[in-house]
Amino acid sequence: MIRVPTQEIQLAQYSGVVPEGLISGITSAAKKLQGMRIVHVNATPVGGGVAEILQSLVPLMCSVGIEAEWYVIEPDDAFFRVGKTLHHCLQGDGESLSHDDIALYLKHNEKSANAAAAVGLTADLWLIHDAQVLPLLHYLNAPPGVWVCHVDATRPNTIIMEFLRSYMSNYKMIMASMPEYLPEDNNADRVFVSPPAIDPLIPKHRLLGSDQAREVLAGLGIDPGRPLVAQVSRFDRWKDPWGVIDAYRLARKDVPTLQLALVGAMTADDDYEAQEVLNSVHQYAGGDPDIHILYDPAVIGDLEVNAFQSGSDVIVQKSIREGFGLTVAEAMWKGTPVIGGNCGGIKLQINDGETGLLVNDAASCARSIVTLLNDRTLARSMGEAGRESVRRSFLMPRLLRDYLHVAISVLNGNGSSVHSQHQAAAPLIDN
């Protein structure tokens, strides 16, 4: 396994940003975990939401006295292909895994566990993220572990879910963004509901002035004098980029000068399908010069993502399945009005009509785009409400607090009491 380095962060830096009381609550919870070794494992160090979360969560855990580390398994193309299919199975697109796929999946997990044992990697608590590495704990001989389910598992392939369930049973507790992701877990007391969060202090989320955002966007070929709608997301079938193009085409009937940007830097090692989706989206866009498709990681970095999330008139995240959708919280944090697909964790983040708009199809997405472009007062008030909602519920210290509670509960062996306190997905912060 490969250790992923992270930057140093101090909890005190969030003081004045997150609600009062959260910092002191974290500090007192952390006292129970001083010196504990907590090891996070996932599939890939970059690209996608899990890597994004761990970059901040791991150093924040260290800042409160925990010996936290982050590892990824050895990259392997065949394994990543199976991992992607597994992801599709959990999100429910009718795909399945062959016997060979399952053998390869288990073998790579076993190999990774052996590699960890060979270098003497141990932990008081293992935090294992997503299904790719779910069986790892079994091969580590089931030390105390928590499995974190980041995907939208509301309609999974039931046979695959059943197969995975035997590996879930190795874990003392399971964390998921929404209660319905693991509805039939036969030991529901072990499920702790905690949606992810964003880090307001990283450069990608520092507030960017509108002039600077426009300047960056102009450098990417966007006309700063015309309205812009953007979706910032990996090129992935569940993010429905085709539906975004449909919505843009419909909205352009009312707003003929509208521009669309589909922004997704191709960085995730394990996302072998992204190129296929990108090719298809290019074709679907049909050479429209007002559809900007940006994917080169040498061009799209943190500043550019920030500029799109801050400088677009409307951000769309038209997913049809979404475990959480960090991009929604990210744009809301920048005060930009967001239209989200009415699914998974997006439903948790957008209170329809108040902190954003939820849509079920391209036609309603188009209507929402036109509404927000024509009514700038509404757009502004939704943007402000969205930002406040993220401040209260979806910033990194709240997620740290949840992980600390889970860790305390697992290490003290009283999982069900935490479960009962936190079963409701919202509100996430009391004050």
Q: Which stretch binds ligand UDP (CB under 6 A): 45-53, 278-286, 334-342, 396-404?
A: 45-53
Nearest distance in Å: CB 203, ligand UDP: 11
Does residue 265 bind ligand UDP (CB under 6 A)?
yes
Does residue 261 bind ligand UDP (CB under 6 A)?
no
Does residue 76 bind ligand UDP (CB under 6 A)?
no
x/- contact string, 327-346, with ligand UDP (CB under 6 A)? x--x----------------
Q: Give the residue closest to ligand UDP by C-beta.
A: 49
Q: Which of 326, 370, 410, 418 binds ligand UDP (CB under 6 A)?
A: 326
Nearest distance in Å: CB 287, ligand UDP: 22
Q: Give the chain's length.
A: 431
Q: Which of 45, 156, 200, 264 binds ligand UDP (CB under 6 A)?
A: 264
Q: Which of 86, 300, 316, 399 binds ligand UDP (CB under 6 A)?
A: 300
Binding to ligand UDP (CB under 6 A) within 306-325 occurs at 324-325
Does residue 415 bind ligand UDP (CB under 6 A)?
no
> In Å, what is the CA distance from 346 to each residue of 13, 197, 254, 360?
28, 12, 27, 12
Smaller CB separation from ligand UDP, 64 or 229 = 229
CB 92 within 8 A of CB 181: no
Smaller CB separation from ligand UDP, 265 or 400 = 265
Smaller CB separation from ligand UDP, 199 or 370 = 199
Q: Which of 234, 252, 318, 401 binds ligand UDP (CB under 6 A)?
A: 234
Does residue 263 bind ligand UDP (CB under 6 A)?
yes
Does residue 369 bind ligand UDP (CB under 6 A)?
no
Question: Where on the chain is the footprint of ligand UDP (CB under 6 A)?
Answer: 48-49, 52, 232-234, 263-265, 300, 305, 324-327, 330
